[in-house]
Amino acid sequence: MSTEVPPPNSEPMLNAAITPELIQKHGITKDEYARIQTILGRDPNLTELGIFSVMWSEHCSYKNSKPLLKLFPNDKKDTSRGYGKVLVKAGEENAGVIDIGDDWAICFKIESHNHPSAIEPFEGAATGVGGIIRDIFTMGARPVALTNSLRFGDLDSKQTKRLFRGVVHGIAHYGNCMGIPNVAGDVYFDSCFEGNPLVNAQCMGLLRHDQIKRGAAKGIGNPVYYVGAATGRDGLGGAAFASRELTEESMEDRPAVQKGDPFMEKLLLEACLEMMAIDGLVVGIQDMGAAGLTCSTCETASRGNTGIEIELDKVPQREKGMNSYETMLSESQERMLVIVQKGREAEIKAVFEKWDLHAAEIGFVTDTGRMVVKQHGKMVVNIPAKKLADEAPIYHRTATAPAYIAEAHKWSPDSLPVPNETFLASALPKLLAEPSIAEKRWVWEQYDHMVMAGTALEPGSDAAVIRLRLDNGKEKLIALANDCNHRYCYLNPYRGGQIALAECMRNLACSGATSLGMTDNLNFGNPNKPEAFYMLKEVVTGMADACKFFDIPVVGGNVSLYNESQQGAIDPTPTVTVAGLVEKREHITKQFLPSANATLILLGGWCHELGGSYYQRIMHKLKTGDAPELDLDKEQKLHSALLQTIKSGKVLAAHDLSEGGLLVAVAEMLFAPDTTFGAELDLTDAPESIRPDVLLYGESQSRAIVATAPENAAVIIATAKSLGIKAHIIGNSLTATDLIVKYSEGSLAWKTTELREVFTQRIPQAMEM
């Protein structure tokens, strides 16, 4: 192969003047443009400028966040249990892979589609699901579960309702049509997300160790195939679009939102899995996600230390007259790039003909190290692949702590009047009706969460559990949960990042699962602003420190910056998804009480803080104080106590304490799917120095409630205390639907049927208006 670097052809469109205004419109700085000129040894043409624009965007290159992401551990130190080893690390491929034992593994990842969903909520969310599914099956895994993490503005605003309805409908449409169960997630509502909703989609797949596929273009002369749907003009510049703030102008940038076809993706999924099952046929495979054909060609070439040459005339196109700029930057959905072993072309064509899909040979692997694109036989792009894919400029931004943080930390609950019984009683129904706390059945009932018949613990509890049937007759039980309290991250980004991971792991432990690994979606504001970058830096540092402490590898994820609108920046929101393993079916534990007359035990001690709580927000309209304290050692001991008592068979139900505190957690345990129970709580053992509002509604961390038969209570308490965890019997469940609470200064009472009504109806009623 020739190693000469000929100039691109001289078509007028390609030689249009590259003006400073055009460079700026593509999000390229002056220094970056000078770097491009040095790389090419000349000025780029318009298509090449567009290619650099998308590949050097934050969405594709992580140029503002890569130094921070290196803080995350990407491997597991302790694999003595026979599972947990990281087989594919973060950044190596499209998604990470973790061993679950018996030569099987799970592959999982989360990504954002925030900006597209703000413009077109249905299509933005739907294609977000489609994209993350492709990331999973391109690894050779069959997708088996979906989750999502969503953030919206005030639920009572028309704009939020429109976005909320469209996003949930889009997620449901794509996942349901694909036949993949959507089993878990979290949804928060806050005014900081009013102009910039967050839509984070996660997918998990199952595969054997020997089924892992790589996205590298290897083998000089091997043919390069384009498979799947034809290319259109939708999604042009989507990666660059996702790397700038939303403004009035960008809100009208509808061509940047892709259109999805889940039925086409279902065909593509089955065809690709069948193709990859043919021994030795597939050399490398990459989905066409962000930056489309551009990203898939240069990244596979870079990973393979090779080059790729393609001819755009051979690319299937659904619109006439598409030029090279449009074809290379299109983010049309349901497409993959496959490098095939030379001489076996007939085999891939036969598979895709069977599934009635395109399988077009569009190029070949070269030894030049360059990404070469031709159209009409003339060269239109000639760029070094590694320079484009792996050597984008890296920035070390200035970080400045926002002044409000230090001021907020001076706040104390003592600045509030001590509430009387009437005020305290009014708080519980209001908290249960807070949309971020209220039941999310309106959301997950739109998802098919039972398809594949493997959902062992359905949405609504602390975590979902999926039963994976292996071809050797065995099964694996995998738990999944999503978490992130943005209020904590706003008030204390370092600690808020740690709490996101700790709470997610706590949810898994309450469900009977040992945590394996994490994927995250870092949703933040503009990194060029020192205060916004400070939040990102502190959150990532906190999360990384917690991951190292708990020995939780980060197997991949996504960074979504520039989440700012005319209303301002969002709160820092590092969405966390943790996958865990449940060793036996009998260990699966729900948060709901199965019967009355159970003893309720508080693990982890009494609450002693109120900063950042939902009680503070709902009852006092405040967002101040410090995030709750977090002792990682105590948190780890709590997980051990939960798992040890669950495995002993003595736990009837378990539920972590988070938003809303003790009484909200107890109420949620009483709202069983088919029955509403009552409970009688005696909290008079709590120190009198603890204010009643702090005791009942504070959100101190590393706490959970377990329910057990009365005769087993002593054993659970002894086990917890042996591990260094405080344990208190706080009451028992009742057949009668009364919730009665005694505390040192008085007593409170509610009808749990009435509490359940406000908890279950808040979101449906809002969406009917």
| Residues noted as catalytic | 59, 113
SS3 state at 666: helix
Contact present, 613 and 661 (Cβ < 8 Å) = yes
Q: Strand locations in 242-401, DSSP E?
A: 282-287, 307-311, 335-340, 358-366, 370-375, 378-384
Length, in residues, of the chain: 769
Distance, CA of 294 to CA of 57 (rounded, Å): 13
d(CA 670, CA 422): 22
Task: Single out the residue of 507, 509, 482, 484 nearest to residue 497, CA to CA.
Answer: 484
709: left (phi over 0), alpha (psi -120 to 50) or beta: beta
Task: Let me know: does 228 contact 139? Beta carbons within 8 Å.
Answer: no
In 3D, which of 193, 194, 187 has the Cα closest to residue 168? 187
DSSP lists the bridge partners of residue 514 as: 581
Q: Are 122 and 173 in contact (CB under 8 A)?
A: yes
Alpha-carbon distances of 249 from 54, 244, 253, 718, rounded to whole Å: 19, 11, 7, 63
3-state secondary structure 127-140: HHHHHHHHHHHCCC
87 contacts 591 by C-beta, under 8 angstroms: no
CA 738 to chain centroid, in Å, comes to 38
- Distances in Å between the alpha carbon of 39 and those of 55, 382, 387? 14, 11, 8
Q: Which two tokens stand for residue 30?
A: 């002056």
Listed residue (457, 480, 436, 512) closest to 704, CA to CA: 512
For residue 673, the tally of other CB atoms under 10 A from its CB is 9
Cα–Cα distance for residue pair 377/642, rounded to 1 Å: 66
Backbone φ and ψ of 301, nearest 5°: -65, -40
Query: What span, in angstroms and rounded, lies between the C-alpha atoms of 449 and 290?
Result: 28
Instruction: Enumerate the β-bridge partners of residue 681.
Output: 731, 741
